[in-house]
Structure 1
Amino acid sequence: MKTVRAAERALMARLPEGALMQRAAAGLAAACADLLGRVYGSRIVLLVGSGDNGGDTLYAGARLARRGAGVTAVLLAPEHTHQGGLAALRRAGGTVAPSRQKDGIPAFLAAAEEGIRRADLVVDGIVGIGGKGGLRPDAAPLAALAEESRAVVVAVDLPSGVEADSGEVRGAAVRADLTVTFGTHKPALLVDPAREYAGSVRLVEIGLDLPEEAELEALQHADVAALLPAPTAESDKYRRGVVGVAAGSARYPGAAVLAVSGALRGGAGAVRYVGPAGQAVIARYPETLVSDRGPAKAGQVQAWVVGPGAGDDAATVAEVLEADVPVLVDADGLRLADRDVVRARTAPTLMTPHAGEAAALLGVAREEVEGSRLAAVRELAARYGATVLLKGSTTLVADPEGGPVRVNATGTPWLATAGSGDVLSGLTGSLLAAGLSPRDAGSVGAYLHGLAGRYAADGAPAGAHDVADAIPEAWRDVRDLRD
Structure 2
Amino acid sequence: MRTAYRVETVRAAEAALLARLPEGTLMSRAAAGLAAACAGLLKPGLSGARVVVLAGGGDNGGDALYAGARLARRGAAVTAVLVTPERAHPGGLAALRAAGGRTATADAADALLARARLVVDGITGIGGRGGLRPAAAALARAAQEHGVPVVAVDLPSGVDADTGEVRGAAVRAALTVTFGTHKPGLLIDPAREYAGEVRLVDIGLGPELPPEPDLAALTDADVAALLPRPAAESDKYRRGVVGVVSGSARYPGAAVLTVGGALRGGAGAVRYVGPAGMAVLGRHPESLVSEGPPHKAGRVQAWVVGPGLGDTPEARAAVADVLAAEVPVLVDADGLRLLDADRVRDRSAPTVLTPHAGEAAALLGTGRDRVEAARLAAVTELAEQYGATALLKGSTTLIAEPGGAVRVNPTGTPWLATAGSGDVLSGLIGALLAAGLPPLDAASTGAYLHGAAGRLAAAPPTASSVAEALPTVWGRLLAATPPR
- Give 1:480 deviation, angstroms: 2.4
Partner residue in 2 for 1:14: 20
In the other structure, the counterpart of 2:454 is: 453
Name the residue aligned to 1:130.
Answer: 127
- The alignment status of 1:375 with 2:412, answered yes or no, reads no
Q: What is the CA distance between 1:172 and its match in structure 2?
A: 0.3
Q: TM-score, normalised by structure 1?
A: 0.96
- The secondary structure found in structure 2 opposite 1:185 is coil
Question: C-alpha distance in 1, partners of 2:165/2:146?
Answer: 25
Matched residue of 1:196: which SS?
Answer: helix
SS of 1:138 mapped into structure 2:
helix
Is the partner of 2:19 in helix, strand or coil? helix
Match of 2:478, as an amino acid? R
Q: Distance in 1 between matches of 2:319 and 2:110?
A: 59
The secondary structure found in structure 2 opposite 1:46 is strand
Q: Which moved more, 1:422-431 or 1:31-40?
A: 31-40
Question: Paired residue for 1:33?
Answer: 39
Q: Report how far residue 91 of structure 1 moved.
A: 0.7
Residues 102-134 of structure 1 show CA distances to partners (whole Å, capped at 9, x for unaligned) of xxxxxx1x3111111111100000000100011
Asked if 1 retains the 8 angstrom alpha-carbon contact of 2:218 and 2:410, the reply is no
> What residue in structure 1 maps to residue 349 of structure 2?
347
The structural deviation recorded for 1:426 is 0.3
Aligned position for 1:102 = none
Aligned equivalent of 1:63: 70
Please list, as runs of the form range in 1=range in 2, the aligned pairs for 1:283-432 lying within 5 A after superposition.
Answer: 283-312=282-311, 313-400=315-402, 402-432=403-433
Q: 1:82-93 residue pairs with structure 2 within 5 A?
A: 82-93=89-100
What is the match of residue 103 of structure 1? none
CA distance in 2, matches of 1:157, 1:434: 40
- Shift of the alpha carbon at 1:54? 0.3
| Whole-angstrom CA distance in 2 between matches of 1:151 and 1:63 | 20
Shifted more, 137-146 versus 21-30: the winner is 137-146
- SS of the residue corresponding to residue 393 of structure 1 reads coil
What's the offset of the Cα at 1:149? 1.9
1:40-94 deviation line (CA, Å, top 9, x unaligned): 1211000000000000000000000011101010001111100110010001111
Confirm whether residue 53 of structure 1 aligns to residue 54 of structure 2: no
Equivalent-residue separation in structure 2 for 1:434 and 1:66 (angstroms)? 59
Q: Count how many residue pairs are aligned between Structure 1 and Structure 2.
A: 470
Do the aligned residues in 2 keep the contact of 1:393 with 1:409 (CA within 8 Å)?
no
Give yes or no for the alignment of 1:163 onto 2:169: no
- Write out the 4+ residue segments of structure 1 that deviate beyond 2 Å after TM superposition: none
Deviates more, 1:29-38 or 1:301-310: 29-38
Residue 134 of structure 2 aligns to a residue whose secondary structure is: coil
In structure 2, what is the Cα distance between the partners aligned to 1:67 and 1:480? 45
| Residue 162 (structure 2) pairs with residue 180 (structure 1) | no
CA distance in 1, matches of 2:386, 2:257: 27
Structure 1 counterpart of 2:152, one-letter code: A
- The equivalent residue for 1:466 is 465
* 3-state secondary structure, aligned to 2:330: strand
Structure 2 equivalent of residue 253 of structure 1: 252
Q: Which residue identity is paired with 1:49?
A: G
Any idea what SS the aligned residue of 1:45 has? strand
Aligned to 2:151: 154
User: Structure 2 CA distance, aligned partners of 1:180 and 1:348?
Assistant: 39
Of all paired residues, the percent bearing the same amino acid is 73
State the TM-score, normalized to the length of structure 2. Answer: 0.96
Structure 2 unmatched runs, 5+: 1-6
**Contact 2:354/2:393 (8 A) holds in 1:** yes
Instruction: Report the residue type matching 2:460 in the other structure.
Output: P
Q: CA shift at 1:17, angstroms?
A: 1.0
Distance 2:476 2:361 in 1: 35
CA RMSD, 1 decimal: 0.8
Is residue 223 from structure 1 mapped to residue 211 from structure 2 by the alignment?
A: no
- 2:84 aligned residue: 77
Contact 2:416 2:454 in 1 (8 A): yes
Amino acid at match of 2:456: Y
Letter in 2 for 1:405: V
Cα shift at 1:333: 0.3
**Partner Cα distance (2:215, 2:404) in 1:** 8
Alpha-carbon separation, structure 2, partners of 1:293 and 1:199: 49
1:263 aligned partner: 262
* Conserved? CA contact 1:119–1:150, under 8 Å: no
Q: Which runs of 5+ in 1 are unaligned?
A: 100-107
Measure, in 1, the Cα distance between the counterparts of 2:445 and 2:120.
36
- Distance in 2 (CA, whole Å) between partners of 1:218 and 1:422 is 23
- 2:201 is matched with 204
Q: CA deviation at 1:477?
A: 2.1
